[in-house]
Chain A
Amino acid sequence: MHRYILHRILLTIPTLLGVAVIVFVLMRVIPGDIVEMRFAEGHFFNQELVDKERARFGLDRPLWRQFVEWLWGVVRLDFGLSMWSGGPIRHEIAIRLQLSLQLALMATMVAVLLAIPLGTLAALRQDTWIDYTVRVFSIAGLAIPSFWLGILMFLFFLIVFQWIPPMVFTPFWRDPWQNLAQMTWPALSVGYRYSAVAARMTRAAMLEVLREDYIRTARAKGLWQSRIVRRHALKNAMLPVLTVFGLEFAFLLGGLVVTEQVFNLNGLGLLFVQSVARRDYTLVQALVLLMALVYIAVNFGVDLLYAWLDPRIRYQ
């Protein structure tokens, strides 16, 4: 087991390095750099000034040196300064992470509360109208764009209550009511899609588990249906569902680019779009690396959880 963990941790190094190389190259392939973006806004343009600015950001040095220096910083957990704002990247990310993390957690709550009961119910009543309703509900969840659902919510509030959710983020600990008045709606609109994915997986996993011999044994013993479902079936069916929750959570942290735009949320997704548009190399690189790290860590965590929950995997 220890060897397996060590092996997995070592395997993340080439993956992260690959991500680092790709994002570094991608950013430099995109036409224009931060200096051009800045001067494009301004009034006068003078080559000497442009060169000076480029030198200030180290953009005049050979690419390999820029890469090595950046990587050396990352290894020491020093992500440097944002090229656009000049502030430390760690700080730039930290202030948005709070919002993104809260949204991801709330959406996960919505998904858990909807997906597990619905998925289980659909599996227990396979091919009845309940099953069909749940399936249509979840396929619709995959089809309806979250950002459009957000627009519809705004429209509904505006027309029915002449009210729109607050547009400025208030941390939960400062004013929970104000915070929830803003965050509940994006959490619901994202949570619907999320619960759709999870409900489909719950249903599939439950259907598989319900056909296992030990379920038949439990039935033969005369156990109550509710006990069979909760103790014997659900516990075993939760493994693949955990994977879905893990992957979706990782996605939510950084992938909510469009929904954040609709709800005017200043989260990591919006920061990413802005940084790409501004050619803020250092910030984009740090963000992509962070998201890749979260994705890898979540995958790894889920695998470990599998081994912990399922002794058959542990002993292999």
Chain B
Amino acid sequence: MSLGDFARRWPLGVASAVIIVLMIGCAVFAPVIAPYDPLETDFAAQFSPPTPTHWLGTDAFGRDLLSRLMYGSRTALLIGFVAAFVGATLGAILGVASAYFGGRVDLGVQRLVEIFLAFPIIILALAVVSILGTGVSNVIVAITVPMIPNCTRVVRSSALAVRAMPYVEAAHAVGCGDARTVLRHMLPNVMGPYLIMLTAFVGQAILLEASLSFLGLGVAEPTPAWGLMLRGAAVEFAESAPWMAIFPGLAISLGVFAFNLFGDALRDALDPKLRTL
């Protein structure tokens, strides 16, 4: 299939993939393509509106917004990918194990999942940040924790069907242990829902990081991060310097939009039965 066919078949998927590739490109090549140092302050250029020298304007410290957005994509993607991967993977293993062992283990795991689901996500993240403090790695932990129970629940329901498959019984018959059956035979067969959760989580994680940083409970200054850029001066001086409030929000929205769209396209492609969803 040529690239053109691909684009015709999944127009939304291809569009989102393009945005994601651009974002990753910005993150990887930030030091090369960013016009300024994202931390460099220039008090002569405070609150500069978008001009040919500063394409997207500057902030309260005269830092170049475009450069900060480019470096900010590093923070967003790092947190998004790591949190989503760890959260979805741990959740998937727990979900498959819960379905596989059944009985008391299943009941116990499901109660635990329920307890964590009953905590609103942002509140769980808030508590974790309060304990560990702010900073990129702590924010990753704070965002990962609430994702695990969500993924556990979804993967478990798929794994229950897989559990009843003859090949699981066959694995037992040839003498596979519990760990081998779960990891080698069941886990690969719940890859569909796992991948779907994974892409959905990347978007959610970016959004959650932005919210936490906006509250001052996420990434700490002066690290360039989109949510953090919306905090403080961006709101206080929104009337005279609206670019400070507009562009970081656009970056967040576009990034999350692309990952959500990609997740939808992936689901259509991976699971034609769910095409309707």
Residues from 136 to 152 in A contacting B, C-beta threshold 8 Å: 136, 139-140, 142-145, 147-148, 151-152
Give the contacts of A67-98 with B (CB-CB under 8 A): none
**One of B33-41, B108-116, B134-142, B170-178 contacting the partner:** B108-116
A contact patch SS: helix
Task: Please indicate which of the listed interface residues A15, A142, A145, A158 has the most CB atoms of chain B within 10 Å of its own CB.
Answer: A145
CA distance A208 to B115 in the complex (A): 31
Nearest residue, chain B, Cβ from A26: B127
Interface of B is mostly: helix
- A22-B115, A154-B238 known; A255 and B249 CB under 8 Å? no
In the complex, what's the smallest C-beta–C-beta distance from A260 to chain B, in angstroms?
Answer: 11
Is A176 in the interface zone, CB < 8 Å from B? no
Which chain B residue has the least Cβ–Cβ distance from A193?
Answer: B207
Q: Which of A1-56 contact B (CB under 8 A)?
A: 11, 14-15, 18-19, 22-23, 26-27, 29-31
A295 close to B (CB within 8 Å): yes
The answer on a CB contact under 8 Å between A254 and B123 is: yes
Contacts of B26 in A (CB 8 A): none
Q: A127-168, CB under 8 A of B: which get 1 and which 0? A: 000001001100110111101100110110011000000000
At the interface, yes or no: B30 with Cβ under 8 Å from chain A? no
A-B contacts, CB under 8 A, total: 132
Shortest distance between the CB of A100 and any CB in chain B (Å): 12
- State A262–B236 Cα separation when bound (angstroms): 11
CB under 8 Å from chain A, chain B span 86-134: 111-112, 114-115, 117-123, 126-127, 130-131
Bound form: Cα–Cα A172–B219 in Å: 38
Can you list, as one digit per residue, whether each of B237-275 has a CB less than 8 Å from chain A (1) or not (0)?
Answer: 011001001100100111111001100100000000000
On whether A204 and B276 interact (CB within 8 A), knowing A30-B127, A155-B239, the answer reads yes
Contact of A276 with B120 at beta-carbon distance under 8 Å, contacts A158-B238, A207-B276 already known = no
Contacts A139-B257, A139-B264, A257-B215; A292 near B230 (Cβ below 8 A)? no
B193 near A: Cβ within 8 Å? no
**In the complex, B214 has a CB within 8 A of chain A:** yes
Q: Which of the four size classes fits the interface of chain B? A: 35 or more
Instruction: Kindly list chain B residues whose C-beta atoms are within 8 Å of the C-beta of A151.
Output: 230, 234-235, 238, 245, 249
For A261, what are the chain B residues with a Cβ–Cβ distance below 8 Å? 214-215
- Contact assessment for A273 and B115 in the assembled complex, using a CB-CB cutoff below 8 Å: no
Given known A-B contacts A15-B118, A148-B230, A272-B123, A143 and B246 have beta carbons under 8 A apart: no
CA distance in complex: A23, B242 (Å): 40
Q: Which of A228-279 contact B (CB under 8 A)?
A: 251, 254-255, 257-258, 261-262, 272-273, 276-277
Contact A255 B121, beta carbon cutoff 8 Å: yes
Given contacts A139-B261, A255-B121, contact A276 B127 (CB under 8 A): yes
Q: Which 6 A-B pairs have the closest CB atoms?
A: A143-B257, A148-B249, A207-B276, A143-B256, A292-B118, A18-B115
> Would you mind naming 5 contact pairs between A and B with Cβ atoms under 8 Å apart?
A15-B114, A143-B260, A145-B214, A272-B126, A273-B126
Binding site for B on A (CB under 8 A): 11, 14-15, 18-19, 22-23, 26-27, 29-31, 132, 135-136, 139-140, 142-145, 147-148, 151-152, 154-155, 158-159, 204, 207-208, 211, 251, 254-255, 257-258, 261-262, 272-273, 276-277, 288, 291-292, 295-296
